[in-house]
């Protein structure tokens, strides 16, 4: 299934995309794409619905982030061997973990703000993982059982804030709009191999990133297992799993975003995002 949320920011309604790519309304069946709805039992109940009997959503409404009620937005740094190489960093002996502010989460096509004082706002296409059932100390072999599905994430980053403003990376990762998510949550059964997905990103029509999740250092199952040793993951929590090479910081010379540009990005089978950059 391809689950989504549509409507004005802060008032999104649940929906799904049918086999013809038509947006259908789920408001008569679930309150939101969140919480228990993301559990195996909740998703199984949605699968019993005939999409052709659901009301059509008229027009072309704004798409919001496909999951509501996200309590944690966990990110993994330097998780692609080829990306670590382009930044001059060593492959970490354990996953690098940081948190993005949940207030940065926006819809897949919402504007991305360039923060005041920014000189190094950068892009990062990533495979997003949505937790569907509570995960605490989960074994590696059953880690994927706790995944509801996958989505596209743009882990927008301000490199100067991230690297030169003291402390952890969080200062460069949490500005409003720095977490476009969606357009859809694609349930796990439709993504049988998350470690073999192409992902790409373009700025103003120029392709900068064009990679594959095959080069991830730590795969999805390991990340869910690993994170669950340090924090309990709850339904709706979001993990972004790192980015392939081609970020602005890695260009020679480096290239960073300016107001008035357009980013397009995708992960294979998970839809396309398009964002305009605006000055905060």
Q: Is 109 exposed, middle or buried (0-12, 13-18, 19+ CB in 10 A)?
A: middle
Mean pLDDT calculated for residue range 144-151: 98
Domains and CATH numbers, the chain: 2-53 (no CATH), 73-279 (3.90.850.10)
Distance between CA atoms of residues 153 and 125, nearest Å: 6
Token couple for 253: 């010379």
Q: How far is CA 94 from the centre of its chain?
A: 21
Q: Residue 47: which H helix or E strand, with range?
A: helix 40-47
Alpha carbon 31 to its chain's center: 22
- Measure the CA angle with vertex 256, ends 116 and 217; round to 5°: 115
240-269 pLDDT tens trace = 999 999 999 999 999 999 999 999 999 999
The answer to whether 125 and 199 are in contact (CB under 8 A) is: yes
Pair of tokens at residue 11: 């008032």
- The pLDDT, as a whole number, for residue 142 is 98
- What pLDDT is recorded for position 89? 75
**Structure confidence by residue, pLDDT tens digits, 69-119:** 999 999 999 899 877 777 777 788 999 999 999 999 999 999 999 999 999
């Amino acid at each position: 299934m391809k689950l989504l949320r549509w409507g004005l920011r802060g008032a999104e309604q649940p929906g799904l995309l049918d086999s013809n790519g038509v947006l259908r309304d789920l408001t008569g069946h679930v309150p939101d794409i969140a919480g228990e709805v993301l559990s195996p039992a909740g998703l199984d109940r949605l699968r019993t619905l005939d999409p052709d009997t659901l009301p059509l959503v008229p027009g072309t409404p704004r798409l919001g982030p496909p999951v509501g009620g996200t309590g944690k937005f966990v990110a993994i740094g330097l998780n692609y061997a080829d990306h670590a190489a382009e930044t001059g960093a060593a492959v970490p002996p354990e996953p690098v973990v940081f948190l993005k502010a949940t207030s940065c989460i926006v819809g897949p096509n919402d504007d991305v703000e360039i923060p005041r004082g920014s000189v190094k706002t950068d892009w990062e296409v990533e495979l997003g993982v949505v937790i569907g059932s509570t995960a605490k100390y989960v074994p590696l072999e059953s880690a994927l059982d706790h995944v509801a599905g996958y989505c596209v994430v743009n882990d927008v980053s301000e490199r100067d804030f991230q690297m030169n403003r003291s402390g952890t990376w969080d200062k460069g990762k949490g500005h409003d709009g720095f977490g476009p998510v969606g357009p859809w949550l694609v349930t796990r059964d439709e993504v049988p191999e998350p470690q073999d997905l192409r992902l790409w990103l373009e700025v103003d029509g120029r392709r900068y990133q064009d990679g594959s999740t095959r080069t991830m250092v730590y795969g999805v199952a390991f990340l869910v297992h690993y994170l669950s040793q340090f924090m309990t993951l709850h339904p709706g929590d979001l993990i972004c799993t790192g980015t392939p090479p081609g970020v602005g910081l890695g260009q020679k010379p480096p290239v960073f975003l300016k107001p008035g540009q357009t980013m397009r990005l995708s992960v294979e089978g998970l839809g396309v995002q398009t964002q305009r950059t605006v000055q905060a």
